[in-house]
């Protein structure tokens, strides 16, 4: 993971998502200042922002730090879960662009570091294997938060390792420009750059 800069809300968001969403919550008698009652279903107006989210964040998953295509894999992660805060359900600032795998793994967990408020250089990467781990030498509490993020999202499982290692190997094998690696795999690029391999 690397820090992600929050992008401005699109001009159409208020009408497409927020206004409809808040009206929907009020029509169901749901208070904005409380968590949703268990089992409550709400209309997914946030899906109207999927394309805007993908464009704003250049297709980079906030958790993997890798580009993914708009077709079939884009999802909105409500960083503050819908079950926790009704007020944040239809708010652009609460949305993180996530591939469907990362979104399904995060669910309602609050043990994941927020990419919008992530300090630089907390996660390290072994480029040849794709292994991700906490930066050595930092304090125990931040290390544990990083480890919990990795565990909750499964960032170091075989699938995630494979895609990171493959992206780096493709960069080497096909002698791709470093800018292409930065565009499609910014976490890998940042680690290769830090290690002096670009």
pLDDT tens digits for range 98-155: 999 999 999 888 899 999 999 999 999 999 999 999 999 999 999 999 999 999 999 9
In a domain, residue 114? The reply is no
Q: Give yes or no for residue 72 having a pLDDT over 80.
A: no
Summarised one tens digit per residue, pLDDT across range 43-61 is 999 999 999 999 999 999 9
CB 185 within 8 A of CB 66: yes
What CA–CA distances, in Å, run from 92 to 47, 143, 190?
A: 11, 29, 27
Task: Please tell me whether residues 52 and 77 are part of one structural domain.
Answer: yes
Domain boundary among 106, 127, 143: 106
170 Cα distance to chain centroid: 23
95 and 129 belong to one structural domain: no
Give the domain CATH number at 25. 1.10.30
Q: Write down which residue in 106, 138, 172 finishes a domain.
A: 106
Structurally, the chain folds into a number of domains equal to 2
> Is 171 inside any structural domain?
yes
Q: Is residue 74 included in any domain, yes or no?
A: yes
Kind plus residue range of the DSSP H or E element containing 54: helix 50-56
The burial class, CB within 10 Å (0-12 / 13-18 / 19+), for 133 is: middle
Residue 52 belongs to some domain of the structure: yes
Are residues 100 and 130 part of one domain?
no
pLDDT at site 1: 93
Q: Is the pLDDT of residue 70 over 90?
A: no
Q: Which residues lie below 8 Å from residue 41, measured CB to CB, with a gap of 6+?
A: none
User: What three-state secondary structure class fits 69?
Assistant: coil
Query: Considering the domain boundaries, does residue 43 fall inside one?
Result: yes
Residue numbers of the domain that contains 36 = 13-106
Together in a domain, 85 and 123: no
Structure tokens at 181: 């690696």
In the three-class reduction of DSSP (H, G, I as helix; E, B as strand; rest coil), residue 133 is classed as strand
Q: Provide the pLDDT for residue 117.
A: 97
- For the residues 157-170, what does the mean pLDDT come to? 98
Q: Is the separation of the CB atoms in 181 and 173 below 8 Å?
A: no
Kindly state whether residue 154 falls inside one of the protein's structural domains. yes
Q: Are residues 123 and 83 in the same domain?
A: no
Q: Are residues 102 and 19 in the same domain?
A: yes
pLDDT value for 73: 79
The predicted-structure confidence for 82-101, as pLDDT tens digits, reads as follows 999 999 999 999 999 999 99
What confidence score (pLDDT) does residue 172 get? Answer: 97
**Across-strand partners of 124?**
133
Residue 98: inside a domain: yes
Mean pLDDT of 55-78: 92
In a domain, 69, yes or no: yes
């Amino acid at each position: 993971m690397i820090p992600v800069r929050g992008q401005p809300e699109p001009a159409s968001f208020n009408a497409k998502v927020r206004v409809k969403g808040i009206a929907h919550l009020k029509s169901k008698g749901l208070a904005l200042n409380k968590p949703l009652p268990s089992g409550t279903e709400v209309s997914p107006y946030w899906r109207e922002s999927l394309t805007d989210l993908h464009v704003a964040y250049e297709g980079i998953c906030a958790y993997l730090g890798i580009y993914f295509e708009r077709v079939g894999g884009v999802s909105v992660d409500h960083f503050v879960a819908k079950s926790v805060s009704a007020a944040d359900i239809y708010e652009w600032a609460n949305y993180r662009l996530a591939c469907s795998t990362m979104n399904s793994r995060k669910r309602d967990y609050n043990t994941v570091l927020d990419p919008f408020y992530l300090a630089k250089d907390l996660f390290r990467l072994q480029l040849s294997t794709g292994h991700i781990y906490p930066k050595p030498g930092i304090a125990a509490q931040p290390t544990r938060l990083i480890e919990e993020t990795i565990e909750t999202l499964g960032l170091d499982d075989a699938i995630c390792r494979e895609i990171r290692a493959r992206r780096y190997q493709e960069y080497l094998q096909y002698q791709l420009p470093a800018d292409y690696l930065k565009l499609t795999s910014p976490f890998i690029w940042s680690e290769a750059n830090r290690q002096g391999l670009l």
